[in-house]
Structures are given as C-alpha cells and as structure tokens.
A and B are shown apart, each in its own frame.
Chain A
Amino acid sequence: MNDGERLAAYLVGDLDPAERRELEARLERDPALRARLERIRRTDDALGSLPRPEPRSEFSVRLRDELRRELAGPPSTAPTTDELAARRRERERWSVPRWLAPLGAAAAGLALFAVIGIGLTNLGGDDDADMAAMNADTQETTLEGARDGAAGPVVVALGRDYTEDDVTAVFDHPAFAPVVGLSSGEAEQTAETYGDPFGIEGEGDDAAAADAQAEGDTAGGAAEPPAPERLAPLVEGDATDEELAAVQRCLPQLYEQAGTLVPVYAEIAAFEGQAAIVYGLVAEDPETGEFSQLELWVVSADTCEVLFFTQR
C-alpha cells in the first residue's frame, strides 16, 4: 500500500490500529503528508456533492421508443443498431475490389501469405496452388526490410488461456513484423488482402445489396450475399469451423471509427477462463503516418464483447 492508498484508507477508517497510529505519527511531523491527506479529503467531499447528471427528457422518450421496437421483435440475437451501423460503415470503409489476384498484389510489393494446415471456409485446392506460387514469388518481391518468417495473416488455435498480464506476449508473434513500418498506401493494399481472409469483405460493386443485407439481418429474411473469394491465413493448431466463423464474425466491430487497419493475427483462446478471440491489428501512427501501432483486442467468442484492449 502506498502513501496515497494509505491516506485514502485512513479517511474511511480502513487502517488497522497499528497502521493508523503509525500514519498519525507521520502526519504530525510531515506537513506535506497532511496537505496530501487534506486534498484527498476535499476530493472525497467534492465527489460526494456532485450533482447527479439527469438524462435529457427527449433521450428518455427516444430510449423507450427504441426499446419498444426491440421488444416488439422476436427474442433475438439480432445485432444492435450500433452493430448494424458499424456493419454499414464497415462495408463503406472496405469499398475496395474483392481480393482477386495474389500475384498482382505481390507485384505491388505486398507481404504475402503462407498456408500451413487448414484454412478458413470456402477454400479449395486451387487456392493452395496459388499460395505456393505466391510464396515462390515472395522471394523476389518482398518489401524492403521484410522480416524473416512467413508473412500474412495468422490464426492460432492452441488452447491457451490468457490473462491481462500475459496476453501481451501475442505482440511478439512474427505475424506483426512484415506489416510494421508500411506506408499508408502499402498498408491500404495489404489491408485488403489481410482483411479478406479474416472475414472483412470487400463489397465489389454492390454496396446497396450489402446495406440491404445488413438491414435484412434484423428481419432474419435476407440470404447471405455471395461469399467473397478468400485466401487462407496460416493456421497454427486445430480450430473448428465454428471457431473460425467467430473469428470472422467478431472482427468487423474493431474497425469502427478507424482508418485503415491491418488484421494480422487472430487467436482462438480463452481469456481468464472465458472463450475468447485475441486479435492483433496494426494501425497507423497518426504522428508519423507509418503503420507502427500494434493493437491487441480480446473479445468474447460468444458475444464479441470486448474484454480487453491494449496497444504498443
């Protein structure tokens, strides 16, 4: 317990007698400590006398209208309005051509994929053949300063259970390195190819259909739009289709209000005992314009609720 905590505890009578006597003796001879005690006391008083902020009446009306609409529907797992808006924004943000030709991307100097083990859904042998070609091509077209090891998005499923204290070890995974230091333009292109296998869909030329789909989800009526062509990320360990689907489902929300992000890492894991997905993203450093900001997001695998966030 530091002095600040001790003083705060003292004010609410939470020190044992010996600690209290010791602190009081120090307070008697230390004016700075007394001043600090007084500041905490005043802060406590001020907190206790803060007026309670009241919701604006128009909000209260709007809230109930919104809830009535929600309650009128079937008991649902439908996305919230916030989620729907996020999906729309997501599609707008990713209004880029679908991922089409890996070799074209390679020529543009992008980091490339490697395929090991199983892939996400919608994969065929042809993709694997493409990937082999890409990997061969990588030798000649890697970025200046490209790191050792395979470039490309990675999905890990090794049954690990993280806590806040050790999950940051994920930052050390080699999947981040090839993306760090990219310029904005390079990152935009990389984001397309990295995002797609994680389930961030390029929307091709049919934005209206995508929006209609987002709206249709609430009614549960519309069919899924055709899945975009996807490439497999490198997968370490065994993941079920359901887990891989969760990786795709929970990622889009992390893009909300963001500029370009490159998703490089997804781990199907547990976080403090709860089924979770750990995402590693690389974002632009607003100071330098370089992609050097690493973000770690831990979300619930069941609800996609954000459980933990940190950046480096």
Chain B
Amino acid sequence: MTGDVTDEELLATYVEGAGRRREEAFLELVDRFERRVYAICYRHFGNHADAEDATQDTFLSIARKAHQFAGDSKLSTWIYRVAVNACNDLGRKYARRPQTPVGDVSRVAAETAGGEETVDDALAGLELAHEIEQALLQLDEVSRSLIVLCSIEGMSYAEASEVFDMPVGTIKSRVFRARAQLAELLEPIQDLTGGAASTERERGVSEATDPRSARGPP
C-alpha cells in the first residue's frame, strides 16, 4: 500500500500528519529500516541486548527529531547517522558498567543459530563471525562504524561522508586503515575464508581484552 511512497514522503507524513496516519507512516519507516539499523547496532556492540537498546534509541530519536531532517541528504543517510550516534552514546554509557565477560562461541551459537546449514558449517560460520565481532570491538568507534557501514553494509564512501560529516578522502583513508587494522587483529585466524587452519587459534582475538572493561570508550 505504501510501496510507492518514498522514505522522505513517509517522514513528511509523520511530521505533518496526525493520529493513525501519522503512526502508520512512522511504523512503515520502522519496517523499512529496522533490519539495517539493527545490523549496524549489532555490529557495533556484538550482542543482541545492546543492539536492541541502541535500535530502540535510534527510532525514538528519529521520532523526536524528525522535524530536524533538513532534506539535504537521503533520509536513509540521516537515519544511519542517528543510528551511529545512538550506538556511540550508548557505548559511552555502557563503558561505565562493570565488565561483562566476552561470550563464548556456544553462547553466540545459541543466540544466532538457525537456518539450514549443517551443524558444523553453522558453528564454523558462527565462530568466524564471533571472532570478527570481537576484533571489531577493538577498533575505535569511528573505525568500527566505518567498517560496518562501508565494508559490511556496502555503503558508498560518498554516503558515509555525509553520515560522518567528513570529507570523502578522510573516509576512504580511515576505511583503508581500519581494514588493515582489522586484518592484523585477525592475523591469528588463518582460515578466514577456508584457508589453512591456524596453529595459533588458541590465542585468537576472542581472548583479547574486552574494550568495555575500561571506563569510558576506548
């Protein structure tokens, strides 16, 4: 029913409308963006509980600040910016809480298992995903967000430049640096894409310090 309506038109309906129409417009936006916002937040924190908090904060912020959307970029860009800010804000708050142990693979498997892969494939994939999640957590928050948006979600440098309000050249340079940094963090995992198994796996990134154990963001 709202399939032909653009994101920006939905937002305008929400801002200018009233009652049920207003609510429907906003919830349609949620339908359109929830999965991507959630993915961004999950990658930022590496767990569902924090990703849910950040996703909820993102949409509450959007609901409250919708009138501030100037229309000089795509609505999606603005929404991702709100999501990145929500993650950073929550991350700073959470940095204060007592250390939570880095989860083991079985917990991650229990949280995310599903689909039709074989058990072994699923576990291998989950383990790799977990290693990458933990390595991502060791990057500074801008680098992490850039990897998530550009390297995982496939956002263009130009759009990321708008999200982060940085020149395209700076974005590129930071993405390059972050990818190289991530590769070094993952160095002990030699079979990232099915290559030779590492003899050093035991000292992989999952044993690295949880950055949230410190007070304040890394």
Which A residues form the contact surface with B (CB < 8 A)?
A: 1-9, 14, 36, 39-40, 42-56, 59-60, 63-64, 66-68, 70-72, 75-77, 80-82, 253, 256-258, 283, 286, 293, 295, 297, 305-306, 309-311
Contact = CB atoms under 8 A, between A and B. Distances in A.
Interface of B: 22-23, 26-27, 30, 34-35, 38-39, 42-43, 48, 51-53, 55-57, 59-61, 63-64, 67, 85, 88-89, 92-94, 96-97, 112, 115, 125, 128-129, 132, 147, 151-152, 172-173, 175-177, 179-184, 186-187, 192-193, 195, 215-217
A50 B152 contact: yes
Contacts of A310: 216
A3 B180 CA distance: 9
A43 B215 contact: no
10 contacts: A2-B180, A5-B180, A43-B192, A53-B112, A55-B51, A56-B48, A59-B55, A63-B59, A66-B60, A77-B64
Given A48-B152, A55-B55, A63-B56, A311 B192 contact: no
A70 B215 CA distance: 32
A76 B23 contact: no
Given A8-B177, A39-B183, A56-B48, A46 B23 contact: no
B38 A257 contact: no
B216 A53 contact: no
Contacts of B64: 70, 76-77
Contact of A63 (B39, B55, B97, B129): B55
Nearest to A68: B23
B3 to A, nearest CB: 19
B173 A5 contact: yes
Given A42-B183, A55-B55, A50 B132 contact: yes
B147 A46 contact: no
A205 B127 CA distance: 52
Nearest to A283: B215
Nearest to B22: A71
B176 A48 contact: no
Scoring B48, B115, B152, B216 by chain A CB atoms within 10 A of each residue's CB, the highest score goes to B216
A66 B53 CA distance: 12
Nearest to A14: B172
Contact of A286 (B53, B186, B215): B215
